[in-house]
Every structure is written in structure tokens, then in C-alpha cells.
Chains A and B, each alone.
Chain A
Amino acid sequence: MSVPRFWRRLKNLYNLIGTHCKKCGGFYYPPRNMCPRCRRNGVIVPFKYKGTGEVVTFTIVHSAAKDYAMLTPYILAIIKLDEGPRLTSQVICSHEDIHIGMKVKSAFRKLGEESDRGMIYYGTKFIPLEN
């Protein structure tokens, strides 16, 4: 991903800042600037999520794209945040421990990098809550 593209989303990725519709009460992460329920009538404001949630489903990726090859095998999961929205991220824990329903919390990690010369991307992954 190019530098401007990452930079534009950096606050969201670092701090789980999504959006919230004040009209219908919907919570969105990843952020949406159009409420999918209220559409043009929605009132969208930024919203910072607590960072706690639950594993909805997961996989252990053994074969990854080039930028992620060093991390394999890694746990990729869909996580439902306590406030409601679901997102895709990695869970850092033992492969024996990961399970559907596992409670997790956010952690600040490197997401990847554009080679040794390129920019390093940081963002939010998840770790077991009991850590």
C-alpha cells in the first residue's frame, strides 16, 4: 500500500478509531463516512473503540503474500468488537489456544513493511484478554 493511502488511515489503524451514526446508533469499524442504514440522513462522527472483543472465526495462514511471508504461520481472524462491529486482524497467541469465542484485546504491532528500504506500517492486532 502506498504511503499516502496508509497515512490517510493511520489514526484508524493505530487507535481503532471508526465511526458512529448518531442518528441510528450504528457503530462502524472499519470507518464508514456514509451510514449504511440512514445513508444521507445519517450523522456520522468519529468513534474510538475500546479494543476488546471476541474471535468470530479464524484461520492459520501458512501461505501468504510476499510482505507477510516472514510471519507465517500466523493467525488471521474476524473479531467482533464489544461495541458491535467486526473487523479482520491477526491474533497473537499460541496456535493451541486460539478458538472461536476467545476474548481478545488490542495490541500495537507492525503490520508489515515495504521491503528493507520502504515504509513500515503499524497498526492494531489482538492478543488474548487474559494476557
Chain B
Amino acid sequence: MSVGIVSYGVYIPRYRIKVEEIAKVWGANANSIIDGLMVYEKSVPDMDEDTITIAVEAARYAINRAGINPQKIGALYTGSESHPYAVKPSSTVVAEAVGATPDLTLADFEFACKAGTAAIQTCMGMVDSDMIELGMAIGSDVSQGAPGDALEYTAAAGGVAYIIGKKNQVAKIESTYSFTTDTPDFWRREGMPYPEHGGRFTGEPGYFKHVTSAAQGLMKRMGTKPSDYDYAVFHQPNGKFPTRVAKMLGFTNEQIKPGLVVPRLGNTYSGSCMMGLAATLDIAKPEDRIFMTSFGSGAGSDAFSFEVTDKIEKIRNGAPSVEKMLANPVYINYATYARHKGKIKL
């Protein structure tokens, strides 16, 4: 396979709410939640931000970072579980807003938290088969956790865009492998504002089974082992799951550290492990190898193996890093958060 990442861009809204602030509203013990989730705060969208605006900002940064001609993008897919429209693509807005229309194909993807990595795989196939020159894969979400539900402490907002191509790769995609079964661990029915989940069922039969199976499947296929990689990124619904799954697979804490953005960001769903990958690319050196595995409830995992090229240095400073996006947040209280998230209706 001769495809890779040509550029990437990230966007995180500037607002944060601390776990303590949410816990206070529900009379919960913040420290035990922080210990349990390894999440201290999460990002919150502005009142006029949604999955589409976040996707556009990330996509624009991806285009600007490497000076991409948007007219060369032949496919664009936006993965999200919070598309503003039930019917009507988010991707058309994004494509128009980045100047990629009209000579391209696009669609919206949904697969809980792994719609973004599914979009990467789709772009890989199209680029590798020469159907298109460049493909853009976006993971963007303004996820909703029901008030008082455990998910409310982590459901965050953010987006990541990757441009996939053959020429000028900053990270070669060595291989990808997916593991998928029908496992209903988390869902949201049509017309419902908040998702439902299977509690602890989402852990063992959901996250851990699929992530480990996909990761081991890819390493088996490639003949690689954890120590062959400089860095590893796993889907991060909280801090605990990726830390534990890394250990189960034989990766070290040092390998996952740069990509573990969830403690200060929360779970950006379709953007989650893609954000971790971006944070890793922000600091990676040429020839570093990165391992990544996403997870989408329902359930499935996409595992990827990357090798960073020397082009990374050239484009790195062309757009804000994940660290820059995480810096200088504006903290808000629960009342403001409720307004921002549309929990108050006028």
C-alpha cells in the first residue's frame, strides 16, 4: 500500500467545564469520578458551534497546514454521531466551506466513535486505486451525555481532519485492519436527544474485545510487536480504558503518553483517537512508527500502523497543534454549559 497522511488539522472549542462543576450539580463525588475516569475537564462548544462548524475549522487547518489545493480533494467524508441534520449531509457544508466543490464525492459516516477512522479507510482505498488524488476524512462531534449520566462527565466537542494521498506523505499508512461484530453496547434512537449505553457491558464485550482483537489482528498480519512502535494511540472514552488496553496489549505508558489527550479534553467521539494521533504527529520525528486503534460502539475497531516521514517537519507549524488548541481554555459553570449545549430551550 502506498497511501499516507498528507496533512492534518484539529479544532477544539475554547470552553471547558471541570468534572467538579458537573459533579456539584448532581451531588456526586468529583474525586472518585476523576479517579475512575482519569478525566479532569472536557471541552464545550460555543452556542454557535456544532459538528459542522468544528469539522470546517479542522478541515481548513488541514488544508492550510500543507498548502493543499482543495480542488484536488476527490472525496470527503465526515464521521460523527452528532450530525446536526438527521437527513442532509454535513459534508456538503464542509466541502463548500473549504472550496472543494463540485468535483468530488462525499457522504456522512456514522459508527459511534469510529466513523472518522472508517472515513480514513475509505479514502485510503480510493486513493490507492487511483479513483482520487486526495481524500479528506473528518471525525467531528459535539456529543451529548444525558444530564446526570456518567457520559456527561466526558462527552466533549472537537474535530480532526486528515488528508489522505500518495504524494508528499507526512506519515505512511503501512497497513490497516478492522474487527467488527454486532455488539449493542451504546446507541441513540432516531429523534432521541441522548444516547443509551449498556453500562459495564460497554467495557469488556465492547471496547476491550474489539480494540484488542483489531490491534492484535493488525500486528499479526504485519508481523510487528508493540516494541516496534514509538507511539501508540487508542480510542479514549476516558483515561482508564486506553491505559488499560495498552497494558493488556503490551504497550508502555511512555508510548501512549503523547496521544492521551482525554484528561484535559474529554471524549471527542469520532475525533477521539484521531485527536490522539494528531497530538502524536505534533511531536513525532521522521521514521517514528505509530500504532493506532479506534473503537466504535455497536461495535468495531480499526487498527492502523503509521511510519512518519521527514516531510512532517516541513508542515508541522502550518496550523495550530493539539497542545495549542488545549491551551488557555475559558472555564464555564454548569448553567452556561447547559445553555451552550442546548439543554435550555427557548
Contacts and interface: CB of A to CB of B under 8 A. Distances in A.
A and B touch in the complex (CB under 8 A): yes
Sorting the interface of chain B by its residue count into under 10, 10 to 19, 20 to 34 or 35 or more gives 20 to 34
Nearest to A92: B46
Interface in B32-87: 46-50, 52-53, 56-57, 60, 84-85
B146 interface: no
A120 interface: yes
B99 interface: yes
Interface stretch (A8-16, A20-28, A36-44, A55-63): A8-16
A122 B47 contact: no
Contacts of B46: 92, 109
Q: Among B97, B330, B339, which residue has the most Cβ atoms of chain A within 10 A?
A: B97
Given A108-B57, A110-B48, A122 B97 contact: yes
Contact of B85 (A15, A70, A110, A120): A120
A10 B101 CA distance: 13
Contact of B47 (A10, A11, A71): A71
A130 B41 CA distance: 24
Contacts of B97: 14-15, 108, 122
Nearest to B344: A70
Given A92-B46, A109-B48, A120-B84, A70 B53 contact: no
A108 B56 contact: yes
Interface in A93-110: 94, 107-110
A62 B93 CA distance: 30
B346 A70 contact: yes
Contact of B99 (A15, A94, A110, A131): A15
B48 A71 contact: yes
A94 B14 CA distance: 12
B62 to A, nearest CB: 14
A125 B85 CA distance: 22
Contacts of A110: 48-50, 52-53
A92 to B, nearest CB: 6
B102 to A, nearest CB: 11
Interface in B95-112: 96-97, 99
Contacts of A125: 48
Interface string A104-119: 0001111100000000
Interface in A76-101: 90, 92, 94
Contacts of A15: 96-97, 99
B23 to A, nearest CB: 26
Contacts of B53: 108-110, 122
Nearest to B330: A94
Nearest to B47: A71
Contacts of B96: 10-11, 14-15
5 contacts: A10-B96, A109-B48, A120-B50, A122-B52, A122-B56
